[in-house]
Amino acid sequence: MRPAAVGFHCPEEGAAASRRGATSRRPINSLGGQARIRHPGLITQLLIGLCVAAYALQGLPGLSGSGPDNTFTLDYSLYGPGIAANDEYYRLLTAAFLHAGVLHILFNMYALYLLGSQLEQILGRVRYLALFVVCAIGGNTLSYLINGWNTFSVGASTAVFGFFAAYYVIARRLRADTSAILIIVGINLIITFTIARIDKWGHIGGLVTGLVVGVIYAYVPTRRGWAQAVAVGAVLAALLLAAALRTSAVTSTPLSAIVQ
């Protein structure tokens, strides 16, 4: 057996596959991800790049001395009145690319790089990107459901917490050691509930969404990719429906009652 990009390969079987004219160019793991020699972790790098670019458009809060609430931030943050009054549901996703300070973005990008690079290799680019999008929306949706008109939040931590949960489920499926990820989740949950300004519902929502999507990717057979896509699409549709119902409830409440 010889070490390969994904697991180990038998030289005799590899030679036989070559003689049969096998068409696969890259090894495929048990969850459908492919080992890529060129541009590994490309989607993770693009996501980090988008977060950094958005942070610059926010005026580099915490680094330049300016506050985080400039016009760009207000236009794309998770802002309850924008969703409830103007149906700006894109905020459920765009808020994940904004950050409130230099430490905020540094911690989130570090976690995104560590977990994202591994998950992208395991799941493949398309499913990995879907995981990020659905977890970000899931965390922000729960925050909106709980806080309603008073919702205001930014940060990629909704998706990062989803990565924590998905990584745990996938590691269990592959029978890998999960003690380290459990410790990391525990530490981050303690931080979430002890620091007042952190959007704890966003973190919890991302964690739960990542758990659900992780189960879909880990236990629905990869040969039934259509079933995985339908299931993940159903999760996304349920989140958007929940947000729409929350908007209906918020807008039906008199503004005077909300202010009180």
Active site residues: 157, 203
Strand intervals (E) in the chain: 2-3, 8-9, 78-79, 152-153
Q: How many CB atoms lie within 10 A of CB 57?
A: 16
At residue 79, what are phi and psi to the nearest 5 degrees? -120, 110
The set of residues, in sequence order, having a beta carbon less than 8 Å from that of 170 and lying 6+ positions away, is 31, 119, 122, 123, 214, 217, 218
Q: How many CB atoms lie within 10 A of CB 53?
A: 11
Q: Is 115 helix (H, G, I), strand (E, B) or coil?
A: helix
The set of residues, in sequence order, having a beta carbon less than 8 Å from that of 72 and lying 6+ positions away, is 54, 57, 58, 59
Q: Give the C-alpha separation, 84 to 218, whole Å.
A: 35
At residue 2, what are phi and psi to the nearest 5 degrees? -120, 140
